[in-house]
Copies of this chain bind each other. A is one copy, B any other.
Amino acid sequence: MSAIYFPFKSYFAPLHCYPMYSKSCEYAIRSVIIISQNSSNSLKTNVKEISQQAGVPEPYIAKVLQTLSKQNLIQSSKGPGGGFYIDESSKNLKLIEIVTAIDGDGLFTACGLGLKECSEKNPCPLHESFKSVRTDIKKMLEKTSIHELANKLEDKLFTSR
């Protein structure tokens, strides 16, 4: 069984750009994909492995994983042979749960002009234009399962060799 390895650090986008979500969230997604894949083989993954395979700083991702663990999106066990895993109850984990846990729901609820009072009843000029886009993002995140992403990545690794 081959472990999933994301490219090394130098392969990650530097650039001046404002991406769709935060580094913490990006790291979380990568990590959870790895955990999910190992979990489907009944394996627990410790922070060191996650850090290496996801190409993510170890102490930092540890923090992020704690956040997910507290919200019971992923599970953990201490002691030798311990690590993070995804149990039956989280088998159907969706991308939106990870994103919301780490970045909040700003991406699909916040006003395009940053107005707190912007709403259906009292829309800002950007409101309607943004509405469908936001809805689409949310739908996409809601329907994408972590499990499915892990499978896709694994397929890709096998077919590209």
| Chain A residues with a Cβ under 8 A of chain B | 6-7, 11-23, 25-26, 29-30, 33, 103-107, 109-117, 123-126, 129-130, 132-133, 136-137, 140, 144, 149-150, 152-153, 156
Contact = CB atoms under 8 A, between A and B. Distances in A.
A15 B106 contact: yes
Q: Please tell me how many copies of the chain the complex holds.
A: 2
A115 B20 contact: no
A96 to B, nearest CB: 12
A96 B17 CA distance: 14
Contact of A112 (B15, B20, B113, B152): B20
Contacts of A153: 124-125
Contacts of A30: 113-114
